[in-house]
Structure 1
Amino acid sequence: MKKSLYILVLCLVLSCFTMLFSACANKDNNETMEKVNMDIKKNNEVNLNIMVTDKFLYFMTKNIVNDKHFVQYMFKNKEEEFNYIYSEDSLNNISKQDLFIYNGAGLEPWINEFLDKLNKSKVGVINISRGINLLSYNKQVKYKNLVLKNNPYYWLNIDNYKIALLNIKNSIQDKDPRNRDYYEKNFSNKLKELEGYEKRFKEIGNKFKNYTMLYSEDDLEYLIRYSNMKVTKLTGGESDEYLEEKIKDTKNIVFLYSNDEELKKNEELLKKYNVKTVKLIVYQENMDYINILKYNINNLEAILKNS
């Protein structure tokens, strides 16, 4: 009897040890499998290296990717970007990237020659002005032996900016289709953010209908056409009779400008006719698009409030 009891107790003890060992083993196996699955997911995640030409483009690209990929810009200001002389090292550096994104429309006048020599076996090249109806310069702008025909500041038209942002979004989705919905959501959020500014901008044209609006810079053409403001362009050769005809019976005369040099050129005219001035931003290295819109809209609305 005692012997049978001992055998029974021994079996129970062994059974408990077996169950305990099995539970521990299953826990270890589960933790191991979870780690393996996490490693697989991590290894399947795409990490893109994206090079853009300037900080304005950097802000646009970050609006789509946030912190998901590594984004760098080449130039700190417009002068560096326009007058860039590329080297073999720069060609090699860009060829190692996953994406190379540039503004187009002549803002990087060296780009065609650069792309001809670039090894594109790895890097995807994106011109964000693709699909945009560009305006032509009235003045002559030269780069070396080239005459640049296109006005490059197309983003002053909000619809053009949307196309440019769409081109960035599509290029990143092509490289990282797994996160397509993520980029689509970021793009949609940015469009929603623009809605209020679009509405205000389109209302501005109607509010200025009883004003005489003047400007002299080609760079402002996209903004002026988008806002539907009735504006007269000064070329510097206007006669007094012509100007008198334009401003007669008008209490409010406004001169739009982005370059301070234009104030100096037209100083005499502005004083003679008591012209109010509104400064607008065409391109600012350290400002993203939304802040440029805010600045321009606020300055235009300020004139209306103070008139």
Structure 2
Amino acid sequence: MKKSIAIFAIIVSFLTFTACSKEKNANSSNVEKNSKIQVVVSFSPLENLVRYIGGDKVEIKTLIPTGSEPHEFEPKLKDMKLLNESKLFIYNGLGIENWVDKTLGNINKDSLEVVNSSKSIKPIKIAEKGDANHGKYDPHIWLSLKSAIKQSENIKEGLVKVDSSNKKFYEENFKKFKEKAEKLYGTYREKLSECKNKNFVTGHAAFGYLCRDFNLKQSSVEDVFQEGEPTPKKIKGLVDYCKRYNIKTIFYEENVSPKVSNTLAKEVGGKIKKIDTMEVNKKDKDYFDIMESNLEKIYLSLK
């Protein structure tokens, strides 16, 4: 009898242990299933795109602080740790993050999916050879609706690789993004085609891909990488350019001093207006809020 009771106790203990283990595994599985995917992006513009495609399935961390130059950034130990702890790293490409290859060579890439968001986008060449700090291509692809569609597709594919259980969610969000981008592009292609003047002036040459989309031409106070003070000769050339094309609006970016743009505007009897390159992140505006605002400002300046 005692032997029977002992055997019964062992069986009950085993079943209880098994049940607890299954419950623990189920809970653990549930946490993993419901937890957000850790995504690291190199800089702010990519955060706008990832937020749209990833929605509430992702937690986004940005490596480069707002206002810092992406090509001058040097990852610290905390950045390497962040990458090692994340599932997905997304960078812009086209040479703007010249530290990426070296950084990825120093971390465990087995558990990290890496996405170059510029993949399959036709670049605009700005130099025959890039130097130590810059690539040879204009990197501002996110300011083009057409290019942003491709970037978002690359982001979607990366998310699907690391989180296949939510594949349908990411694909639906990409489909919505593409439809919205194409609709906005169609609206402004029609509006901008009506403008006889196709020329505008910006603080720095960030809108090359947008110009390619809409057959426009930008002239700028600073170059693609916002380097160097403009010379008197450069300012005179811009004044002549504005007078030739009757340009009365001089655009400047949020993270750049408007001093030179103000000087230029006074010379031509015009005004300055802020335009958004997305390099300062805004949680209250999504990608399309910013792009529509930019396009409307450019359109009004050309009328």
TM-score, scaled to structure 1? 0.70
**1:294 and 2:292 aligned:** yes
1:177 maps to 2:164: yes
Partner in structure 1 of residue 277 of structure 2:
282
Deviates more, 1:234-243 or 1:212-221: 234-243
Q: Is the 8 A contact 1:254 1:278 kept in 2?
A: no
1:258-269 equivalences under 5 Å are 258-259=252-253, 264=260, 267=263
Does the Cα contact within 8 Å between 1:76 and 1:285 map onto a contact in 2? no
1:137 and 1:149 in contact (8 A); partners too: yes
Could you tell me which amino acid in structure 1 is paired with residue 114 of structure 2? V
After TM superposition, give the deviation of residue 50 of structure 1 in Å.
Answer: 1.9
Percent identity reads 21
User: What is the RMSD of the two structures over their aligned residues, measured on CA atoms?
Assistant: 3.9
* Structure 2 unaligned blocks of 5 or more: 1-22, 222-229
Q: Is the partner of 2:281 in helix, strand or coil?
A: coil
Deviations 1:118-137 (A, max 9, x none): 21111111111111122233
Query: Using a 3 Å threshold, how does the CA distance of structure 1 residues 211 and 188 change in structure 2: closer, same or farther?
Result: closer
C-alpha separation in 2, matches of 1:93 and 1:241: 46
Q: Give, in angstroms, the shift of residue 148 of structure 1.
A: 3.1
SS in structure 1 opposite 2:105? helix
Q: Check the 8 A contact 1:54/1:285 in 2, yes or no.
A: no
Q: Cα distance, 1:74 vs. partner?
A: 2.5
List gaps (5 residues or longer) in structure 1.
Answer: 1-34
Are the counterparts in 2 of residues 53 and 102 from structure 1 also a CA contact under 8 Å?
A: yes
Separation in 1, partners of 2:64, 2:198? 39
State whether structure 2 residue 198 is matched by structure 1 residue 200.
Answer: no
The answer to whether the aligner puts 1:45 opposite 2:40 as a matched pair is no
Deviation per residue, 1:70-116 (Å, 9 max, x gap): 33223331416443332445324312321112222233221121112
Corresponding position: 1:98 with 2:94: no
1:168 aligns with 2:155: yes
Indicate the larger mover: 58-67 or 233-242.
Answer: 233-242
1:290 and 1:111 map into 2 onto residues whose CA distance is 28
From the superposition, tell whether residues 178 and 303 of structure 1 become closer, same or farther in structure 2 (CA, over 3 Å): same
Shift of 1:264: 1.7
* 1:203-218 correspondence runs (5 A): 203-210=190-197, 213-214=200-201, 217-218=204-205
Question: Structure 1 81/241 Cα, relative in aligned 2: closer, same or farther at 3 Å?
Answer: closer
- Other-structure match for 1:253: 247
Amino acid at match of 2:30: K
Distance verdict in 2 for CA 1:210–1:82, change over 3 Å: closer
| SS at 2:193 equivalent | helix
Q: Which is further off, 192-201 or 118-127?
A: 192-201
Q: Label 1:212 to 1:180 Cα distance change in 2 as closer, same or farther (>3 A).
A: closer
Q: 1:205 to 1:214 in 2, by over 3 A?
A: same
Q: Partner amino acid for 2:263? A: E
| 1: CA distance, partners of 2:138 / 2:149 | 18
Deviates more, 1:189-198 or 1:41-50: 41-50
Structure 1 residues 80 and 153: CA distance shift in structure 2, 3 A? closer
Cα distance in structure 1, aligned partners of 2:252 and 2:218: 15
**Aligned mate of 1:132, from 118, 121, 142:** 121
Residue 239 to residue 110, structure 1, CA distance change in 2 (3 Å)? closer
Alignment partners' CA distance in 2, 1:125 and 1:199: 32
Closer/same/farther in 2, CA of residues 79 and 139 from structure 1, 3 Å limit: farther
